[in-house]
Chain A
Amino acid sequence: MATYLEFIQQNEERDGVRFSWNVWPSSRLEATKMVVPLACLLTPLKERLDLPPVQYEPVLCSRLTCKAVLSPLCQVDYRAKLWACNFCFQRNQFPPAYAGISEVNQPAELMPQFSTIEYIVQRGPQTPLIFLYVVDTCLEEEDLQALKESLQMSLSLLPASALVGLITFGRMVQVHELSCEGISKSYVFRGTKDLTAKQIQDMLGLSRPAVPIQQGRPLQTPEQPAISSRFLQPVHKIDMNLTDLLGELQRDPWPVTQGKRPLRSTGVALSIAVGLLEGTFPNTGARIMLFTGGPPTQGPGMVVGDELKTPIRSWHDIEKDNARLMKKATKHYETLANRTAANGHCIDIYACALDQTGLLEMKCCANLTGGHMVMGDSFNTSLFKQTFQRVFNKGFNGEFQMAFGASLDVKTSRELKIAGAIGPCISLNAKGPCVSENELGIGGTSQWKICSLDPSTTLAIYFEVVNQHNAPIPQGGRGAVQFVTQYQHSSTQKRIRVTTIARNWADAQSQLQHIEAAFDQEAAAVLMARLGVYRAESEEGPDVLRWLDRQLIRLCQKFGQYNKDDPNSFRLSESFSLYPQFMFHLRRSPFLQVFNNSPDESSYYRHHFVRQDLTQSLIMIQPILYAYSFHGPPEPVLLDSSSILPDRILLMDTFFQIVIYLGETIAQWQKAGYQDMPEYENFKHLLQAPLDDAQEILQTRFPMPRYIHTEHGGSQARFLLSKVNPSQTHNNLYAWGQESGAPILTDDVSLQVFMDHLKKLAVSSAS
């Protein structure tokens, strides 16, 4: 098995791909019996330090419906200078530039180690990156000040040639002109009126003067940049101006009377930002960065009225269909998001407020465009400041770790079809022979657009085996999938990354053990979780849980070894052993449970869940718990209440939170001040160790997790207690009163109970 693990890991490192099954069942029927669909997690821009891009264009299959890229899997006739497409079997002539190839003189794309390769193509005009700040001014003075500083700081992080723009909003929406001297100038819009892109462009004076239509396409007039330049300027030209402008930014001056929320025109502000870019820089890399400190309270996209006595919608309201503004607002933002995505721009949402800010309604803006979503309590927290700074992180080669306007094209060999994708993308509606009729996630297409992505952005792609049972695959046949990702690099180059993978087919009846052994339970857990989250967006929570449970039971029935109706005989092989546990924690996770979470929080968690890579996703599903004690070096311990011991310091990473928990005794020691006594320096070190480790995580993660330092009995300890498996509660007596852990006051079932039930159901002959 070790080999499979290695294989999986190798593949992931090389190609950024994790398949649920690494040996594929060879027929549709068998595949469906596998329960977990054949699917993969793809990290298109996985950082590859060892992969210098090649400076030429890929060679494409000449069949128009195929256009697959030449890959190591293709058969090449060096003498005839022909190659056969491994997807459609079309024989293609090499282009003239390849005249010199031979077995010993192969281009990179034919070498097996380059199953993933990146091309740089010089096509079309290069346009600078664009950052459009959309800033809420209905903030507390401190918050606004902090935000202003962050924004000013960000100017220094932008590439000098990047264009920046500024829109501020409150009761009104102001689009600031950046090129003027002496007098600061802005265009003001009413925050209650939705405007079409055309209107916005007219009002901003962006519509091109009616130039008599010249033959062919309108020239990319040199005037165009001139026109838009009023609102979007290269950083190096106006950073002083903009810094001053930001400095002078005042809180929204309109009075807010007692018992009212400030009027905040987020919907219109976004609409204007989208319209502005739509008109001036379609199909170029651009980020609209929305900073908001509260819910939209007027105009289109309004989430809650300005009466404070009317609280913002809760899950309860939504379930009761009591959130009257939600649908309309959601629709507004969805429309915006789709327009933005169509133009290849993305929207980031930085929402910092103690109460909800309407992320539920606005989530699609970030989800569909690949933008970031950050939620914090205040702009004046390191959570926001650091996170925001990290948006502009640079990679090892000094380039921004962000890419824009990507499109992902997936090609499969004939036995496979594409069922869909789940991730920060939208469908490009590319129908083709390899598109399945059954949809999982965003389906019906073989191409998706990802407006913004970074090296960790990961999509789940689901396939369907369509090979019929009675059409055996020839011995040694392999299924192949090719991922072609075209994107605009942060250096504004256009690049194409091509990943071609192949897996063996196996007959599920005769070679089930191979298939079983090649099961990637981690990937499968994440892929199933994404399906569950995807469903949860549109279905009732309990239905999703039931579906998940059924899938789990069926999987256990299929791959477990047991005697009928004898739960105790139930065994799972090693490659499946962790899977039920993942499912257990997934069931309790905020991705599927809305209890104790606001709608905004749920949206926020789900947003991140469907875009992070496998490792991070697993942490989200099942947080990691480390224990620090005098008994030995730090060790990972079970996420279980039994791990909570008085003489331990626990460090829990849930991805969104880092919790440091001092056990009862440790806490008492700390209170007593032992750490300050030289003779107890080791205690000081013990206290420090988890802090250092936490710091390390905090430094690297995006978004920066909430950092919680608590102790036994502390109110914040709830973050820990809510995550651990409640193996000891007030209900189960067998561990009660023992020194082995801390009881959790909950009615949730523990993993043990869950497993017991699972076994019972799996072995039941009734189902």
Chain B
Amino acid sequence: MSVNQQAHTGPPYGQPQPGYQGYQQPAYGGQPLPGVPQSQYGAYNGPMPGYQQPVPPQGYFPSLGFPSKGSPVSLNSDTSSLAPNFIGSLRAPPTSGAPPPASGASLPSGHLAYSQFGHGDVQNGIPASAAPMQRPPASQPFLPGSAPTPASQTSTFQQYGPPAAGVQQLSNHVAGMTIGSTTASAPPPAGLGYGPPTSVPPVSGSFSATGSGLYTPYTASQGPPPTSVSQGLPLAQPPFPSQPISTQRLPTQVPGFAPPPSSTGIGPSSYPPTTGAPRPPSMPGPPLPGQTVAGPPTSQPNHVSSPPPPSTMTGPHPGPPMSGLHGPPPPTHPPQPGYQMQQNGSFGQVRGPQPNYGGAYPGTPNYGSQPGPPPPPKRLDPDSIPSPQLNELPPQQKPRHRIDPDAIPSPIQVIEDDRSNRGAEPFVTGVRGQVPPLVTTNFLVKDQGNASPRYIRCTSYNIPCTSDMAKQSQVPLAAVIKPLATLPPEETLPYLVDHGESGPVRCNRCKAYMCPFMQFIEGGRRFQCCFCSCVTEVPPHYFQHLDHTGKRVDFYDRPELSLGSYEFLATVDYCKNNKFPSPPAFVFMIDVSYNAVKSGLVRLICEELKSLLDYLPREGNMEESAIRVGFVTYNKVLHFYNVKSSLAQPQMMVVSDVADMFVPLLDGFLVNVNESRTVIASLLDQIPEMFADTRETETVFAPVIQAGLEALKAAECAGKLFIFHTSLPIAEAPGKLKNRDDKKLINTDKEKTLFQPQTSFYNNLAKDCVAQGCCVDLFLFPNQYLDVATLGVVTYQTGGSIYKYAYFQLETDQDRFLNDLRRDVQKEVGFDAVMRVRTSTGIRATDFFGAFYMSNTTDVEMAGLDCDKTITVEFKHDDKLSEDSGALLQCALLYTSCAGQRRLRIHNLSLNCCTQLADLYRNCETDTLINYLAKYAYRGVLSSPVKTVRDALINQCAQILACYRKNCASPSSAGQLILPECMKLLPVYLNCVLKSDVLQPGPEVTTDDRAYIRQLVTSMDVAETNVFFYPRLLPLTKADVDSDSLPAAIRNSEERLSKGDIYLLENGLNIVVWVGVNVQQGLIQNLFGVSSFSQISNALSTLPVLENTFSKKVRSIVDMLQVQRSRYMKLIIVKQEDKMEMLFKHFLVEDKSLSGGASYVDFLCHMHKEIRQLLS
């Protein structure tokens, strides 16, 4: 919506900040109106604006979460028609509210505010108070607005009261955000993240201003107090629900309510967009209106003053408003204040800043309402209030529905904070259980005994001592391990330790490798294993005296005693068949069927290989790569090539016996590139010619892998197959597949079959491949369904990568493909790998996720493992841990390097153990948690209906949060949503996972895409999942052309967009450049080289190279992003209001998605409801 209105911002460049504010503000003002007109957007925007304000708040979106319920309310308020869609409902309210706001700060405005707040509430719940701050004026209107519901509100307020404490935390967050800056000076904060966040920043700004002093404290508080972490959200107020009911669907709603409880179990109910009823209940959330009202006014004012706000922001935060807010909230508004109060109260001044939240909170009450079903939690029973409120509520509700998006926890804010707080200093790994900076933060690592977070990240760095605690918290204990991760040039690679023929020193019992945590005793003659406590003799050659501290004298000389990560040279005992391995081989296997030839793919690959072969990975000091190469082409039959250096011409050998694959030649198939250079060149020249006239359209697939496997077997080496494949293998051969794509299966119990391989043939094949160390990388170029789920099995289980280029076209996709190919060929890779994770007694690695094969329960086997592959390992208790000794992990990876050297890479990590749940919650890492949850869920779809998986996910997260609320947060109203600081982004990220293509496919998502994504995510590291699920959205027009920094990211919501700007969104697979309709012609000219918006071509796959600063800047940004990702991202140009925009909107994960995914606010509301149900 903002976008539409953004006309204001038009000149984005000129006024970056203003732009934002402008957006939001205008959005507020006009959002409703414009929003309404616009289909969904309108709706979104409506709420969005609200959100923005609330944004700062911690992250309760109770009401929104339940969108379903909340929406109902809105529906009620709006019109039944709207009801169907959450959005609709939401919109409705906004619309209605919208007009009013325009009119004035009065009720209508209040509504608006509500809407905003509503969201905000959810998030801020408590912070509501903050809202008040800005909205002081509005606050009054609120009263009126709220007035009708007063009773309920009051009650709610009271409830809130208690939560206040939690609330504070919320505010704290906000504060935290601001704090950094605030402490320094008011202005900075605004500039910080807030600025971008839109309204939020202002809020924060205001906060800071208001209670700058306070802030500091908050910050402090935030850090330490888990409480602070939690954010209390006022429970939704039952009354609201009633309202919705009143509107139209009393009956329906009622039922709806009933269901909710069930729904509480898991999102489903909320989602059931299908059923109007269910949603309505959720809608109630919005009702917060009362409070929201307050919020709105403020927001509006801001908007109105949009221009000013910035100033205020930057400047002394609108000290006045702020202060005013603070002041007023607590005392002034008894009722709302109540909310605020509580919130504020808890946070004290902090809330001041949160005032917005306050606004948001009001929304929360709505949530309460949503919970309608759950109403029991609080007094605001929908039922009780229903009729009366109905009448009055409608108006209010509308406003209330809105939770200020700015009031709910903002990923951007969190990322920015971490970046500024922790990016500067190196992360030193010497301390046990230390939580590393976020993956989005650039930081250096100094290894002082624990593995770098680049190698291992954990969901929690503090492990409950007992399994009971672990079960209670439901926080999964998992480590995400990337054993061969690439390090930045500033950090040193793991040292290679050679112990000679005796090999590495190991514990006698558990076979753990020597590491810094081993205790040397008896003067150094023995050592006690840190994992199993067994005492082992130190081998004579390894003996060393201890110093007075019990440390070995050679402590610093031996990497295995002083570092967290290092490598051992393996002895022959660690080799297959007790024979040192030969250098590995790469086999390129090219599909030469009609499609591949016609699209120019074959020629492209052959051309590229000619030069690429000079860049095979090599061991650091070697002059040429030890890797040998071989070539195969195939369609219905396979063609092997003899490229022996002594031949004048390559020889082609056709094997048509695909039923029983074998390798027809031995000598001359795998060759050294330098020796056979001319023959290879000749071959690569001829391949495209030979098949230029092919009419063969059928292909085989399994025999291709078998051929590669047999070739490696014959050569007695490990290696990698690069298979370039175009179509479903329907030719008569083993592993033949049939087209079984059936979209009708979606949302049925059989949906899982879409992810399962058609035949077990490939599983067996994969097993053979793993045994030989044959890794398979698959490049797919499908024009139609080719069953990635089945074709990918071998790749997946051998640790390979799949690349997919649907509808491959030379012009647009060649760069992407070639870059991927180059990176894939050149990247560091180990072969024939076995990984084992050892742990302290008490916990045990029980489950593994990633691209690998397991023949037993402990060893992860990978035919190939490259620097991008990640394995997620889950731990479970099998005994107690002690706080003193903590918990240790040792990941040992045995692999063959690209030069054929057998090595062991060891990563050690020590974690703390706790007896207090609070410690657990304080040391969690949400990004890692999401990584685990996503992988867990993505595996779940293989065996369970997708809906079950989704419900389980929601349920688990609700339990995690509920446990926190119950055990760690200071007592507060059940209506408050309180999130642990470390997990405040859990809801938004979780929602992203739930909305992802695998778990909730849109109509345009193909079965292959889903299978592809599913497999892709399974071996992603934390940074990749982070950006994949919550894409990075950068306002290009805000980029500073003079510096090489990236513009500050903004949140993934349409209402953050301005029509006059150009944005770039990246998720690790795609880069989408979105161009607003009102972008200045000059910019368009500069960036695209065309004179008008309409002339921009959708078909561009790269940005034209133009000699101007803007173009250069943008291209450098794109390049920078490309370098950061392991895959070359596809660049897509999307023009606003173009058909393609759907695609872009798909990535705006905070918005409601077309496929039915909830918006952030709605989901937060739903989450809140779930939690409350658990608590009650």
Chain A interfacial positions (CB closer than 8 Å to B): 172, 174, 177, 180, 182-190, 193, 195, 199, 202-205, 248, 253-255
The answer on a CB contact under 8 Å between B667 and A253 is yes
Q: A182-B649, A182-B686, A203-B637 are contacts. A187–B654 as well, Cβ < 8 Å?
A: yes
- The segment out of B496-504, B655-663, B983-991 that lies at the interface is B655-663
Contact yes or no, B666 A254, CB < 8 A:
yes
Query: Given contacts A190-B660, A190-B662, A253-B667, is CB(A183)–CB(B651) below 8 Å?
Result: yes
> B652 to chain A: which residues have CB within 8 Å?
180, 183-186
Q: How far is the CA of A183 from the CA of B665 in the complex (A)?
A: 16
Chain B residue nearest to A177 (CB atoms) is B654
User: Which residues does chain B contribute within 8 Å of A255, judged by CB atoms?
Assistant: 666
A174–B660 contact, CB under 8 A? no
Whether the pair B686, A183 counts as a contact (CB closer than 8 A) is yes
**B690-A183 in contact (CB<8A):** yes
A195 and B937 CA atoms in complex are apart in Å by 48
Which of B650, B653, B668, B690 gathers most chain A CB within 10 Å?
B653
Also in contact, A253 and B666, with CB within 8 A (given A188-B640, A190-B660): yes
Q: Contact at A174–B686, with CB atoms within 8 Å?
A: no
Supply 10 further A-B pairs (C-beta < 8 A) apart from A177-B654, A184-B649, A199-B657. Answer: A182-B686, A183-B682, A183-B683, A185-B654, A187-B656, A188-B654, A189-B655, A189-B656, A203-B637, A205-B637
23 contacts between A and B (CB under 8 A): A172-B662, A174-B664, A177-B654, A180-B652, A182-B649, A183-B651, A183-B686, A183-B690, A184-B652, A186-B652, A186-B653, A188-B640, A189-B655, A189-B656, A190-B657, A193-B660, A202-B656, A203-B637, A203-B656, A205-B656, A253-B665, A253-B668, A255-B666
Interchain CA distance A177-B690 in the complex, whole Å: 13
A4, chain B: closest CB distance, angstroms: 63
Contacts of B690 in A (CB 8 A): 180, 183
Given A172-B664, A174-B664, A182-B649: A187 and B686 within 8 A (CB)? no
A188 touching B686, Cβ below 8 Å: no
Residues of B within 8 A of A180 (CB): 652, 690
Complex CA–CA separation, A186 to B639 (angstroms):
9
Does the CB pair B651–A184 fall under 8 Å?
yes
Which residues from chain A contact B647 at a C-beta distance below 8 Å? Answer: 248
Query: Which are the 6 A-B pairs with shortest beta-carbon distances?
Result: A203-B656, A188-B664, A187-B654, A185-B652, A253-B667, A188-B653
B650 near A183: Cβ-Cβ < 8 Å: yes
B682 to chain A, nearest CB (A): 8
Q: Which residues of A contact B665 (CB under 8 A)?
A: 172, 188, 253
What is the CA–CA distance of A193 and B13 in the complex, to the nearest angstrom? 74
User: Would you call A189 and B657 a contact (CB within 8 A)?
Assistant: yes
- B-side contacts of A172, CB under 8 Å: 662, 664-665
Bound complex: CA of A255 vs CA of B716, how far in Å?
14
Would you call B657 and A195 a contact (CB within 8 A)?
yes
Could you tell me the distance between the alpha carbons of A254 and B663 in the complex, rounded to whole angstroms? 11
Chain A residue numbers with a CB within 8 Å of B689 are 182
A575 to nearest B CB, angstroms? 63
Task: State how many angstroms separate the Cβ of A137 from the closest Cβ of chain B.
Answer: 12
CA separation between A199 and B659, bound complex, in Å? 11
User: How far, in whole Å, are A248 and B650 apart by their CA atoms in the complex?
Assistant: 12
Which residue of A183, A193, A254 contacts B657 across the interface (Cβ within 8 Å)?
Answer: A193
Which residue of B is nearest A189, CB measured? B657
A contacts with B: majority SS: mixed
Q: Shortest beta-carbon distance, A517 to chain B, in Å?
A: 66
Contact with A along B626-639 (1 / 0, CB 8 A): 00000000000101
B655/A188 in contact, CB under 8 A? yes
| Residues in chain A near residue B653, CB distance under 8 A | 174, 185-188
> Which B residues are in CB contact (< 8 Å) with A199?
657
| Nearest B residue (CB) for A188 | B664
Residues of B within 8 A of A254 (CB): 666
B640 to A, closest residue via Cβ: A188
- B1051-1099 residues with Cβ-Cβ distance < 8 A to A are none
With a cutoff of 8 Å between Cβ atoms, the chain A residues found around residue B651 in the complex are: 183-186
> Which residues of the other chain, B, contact A184 by a CB distance below 8 angstroms?
649, 651-652
Closest B residue to A199 by beta carbon equals: B657
How many angstroms between the C-alpha atoms of A712 and B649 in the bound complex? 57
Residue of A nearest to B667 (CB): A253
User: Complex formed: what's the CA distance from A203 to B514 in Å?
Assistant: 57
The residue on A at minimum CB distance from B690 is: A183
A205–B653 Cα distance when bound, in Å, is 14
Cα separation A172 to B649 with both chains bound (whole Å)? 21
Query: A177 to B639, alpha carbons, bound, how many Å?
Result: 13
With both chains docked as a complex, state the minimum distance between the C-beta of B148 and any C-beta of chain A, in angstroms: 80
Please report the C-alpha to C-alpha distance between residue A649 and residue B88 in the assembled complex, in whole angstroms: 121
Nearest residue (CB) in A for B661 is: A190
The reply to whether A183 and B637 contact each other, CB–CB distance below 8 Å, is no
A618–B272 Cα distance when bound, in Å, is 102
Q: For A177, list chain B residues within 8 Å (CB).
A: 654
Whether B649 contacts A183 by the Cβ 8 Å rule is yes
User: How distant is the Cα of A370 from the Cα of B1091 in the complex, in angstroms?
Assistant: 85
Complex formed: what's the CA distance from A204 to B654 in Å? 9
Cβ contacts under 8 Å, A183 to chain B: 649-652, 682-683, 686, 690
CA–CA, A205 to B690, complex, Å?
16
Q: Within the assembled complex, what's the spacing in Å between the Cα atoms of A205 and B654?
A: 11
Bound CA–CA A202/B657 (angstroms) = 9
Chain A residues, CB < 8 A from B657: 189-190, 193, 195, 199, 203
Question: In the complex, how many angstroms separate the beta carbon of B681 from the nearest chain A beta carbon?
Answer: 13
A669–B875 Cα gap in the complex (Å)? 101
Report B-chain residues with C-beta under 8 Å of the C-beta of A189. Answer: 655-657
Docked pose: A92 CA to B336 CA in angstroms: 129
Q: Which residues of A contact B640 (CB under 8 A)?
A: 188
Q: Which residues of A contact B683 (CB under 8 A)?
A: 183
Q: Which residues in B have their C-beta under 8 angstroms from that of A248?
A: 647
Q: Which residue in chain A gives the minimum CB-CB distance to B683? A: A183
A188 proximity list for chain B (CB < 8 A): 640, 653-655, 664-665
In the complex, A113→B657 CA distance in Å?
59
Interface residues of B in 173-207 (CB under 8 A from A): none
A172 to B664 Cα, complex, angstroms:
7
A463–chain B nearest beta-carbon distance, Å: 50
In angstroms, Cα B657 to Cα A187, docked, is 9
Q: How far does the Cβ of A650 sit from chain B's closest Cβ, in whole Å?
A: 53
Distance in angstroms between the alpha carbons of A188 and B662 in the assembled complex: 9
Indicate if the CB atoms of A204 and B656 lie closer than 8 Å.
yes
Q: Bound state CA distance, A497 and B668, in angstroms? A: 55
| Residues of chain B lying within 8 A (CB to CB) of residue A185 | 639, 651-654
Kindly list chain A residues whose C-beta atoms are within 8 Å of the C-beta of B639.
Answer: 185
Q: How far is the CA of A186 from the CA of B683 in the complex (A)?
A: 15
Within the complex, the shortest CB–CB distance from A551 to chain B, in Å, comes to 53
**Whole-angstrom distance between the alpha carbons of A256 and B140 in the complex?**
97
Q: How far is the CA of A203 from the CA of B662 in the complex (A)?
A: 14
Separation in Å of the B593 CB from the closest CB of chain A?
Answer: 14
A189 to B656, CA, bound (A): 7
Closest CB-CB distance, B509 to chain A, in whole Å?
Answer: 43
A215 to B682, CA, bound (A): 48
CA distance A199 to B733 in the complex (A): 12
Cα of A615 to Cα of B583 in the assembled complex, Å: 68
- A-chain residues with CB within 8 Å of residue B660 when the two chains form the complex: 190, 193
8 Å CB contacts to A: which residues of B19-66? none
Q: What chain A residues lie within 8 Å of B664 (beta carbons)?
A: 172, 174, 188
Q: Which of B655, B662, B682 meets A187, CB within 8 Å? A: B655
Please, which residues of chain B bring their CB within 8 A of the CB of A182?
Answer: 649, 682, 686, 689
Q: Which residue of B has the minimal Cβ distance to A195? A: B657
Residue of B nearest to A203 (CB): B656
Residues in A neighbouring B650, C-beta threshold 8 A: 183
Determine the chain A residues whose CB is within 8 A of the CB of B682 once the complex forms.
Answer: 182-183
B 664-693 contacts with A by CB, 8 A: 664-668, 682-683, 686, 689-690
| A183, B689: Cα distance in complex, Å | 11
Chain B nearest CB from A242 CB (Å) reads: 15
Give chain A nearest CB distance to B698 CB in angstroms.
12
Measured CB to CB, the closest approach of chain B to A317, in angstroms, equals: 32
**A183 CA to B647 CA, complexed, in Å:** 11
> Nearest chain-A residue to B647 (Cβ)?
A248
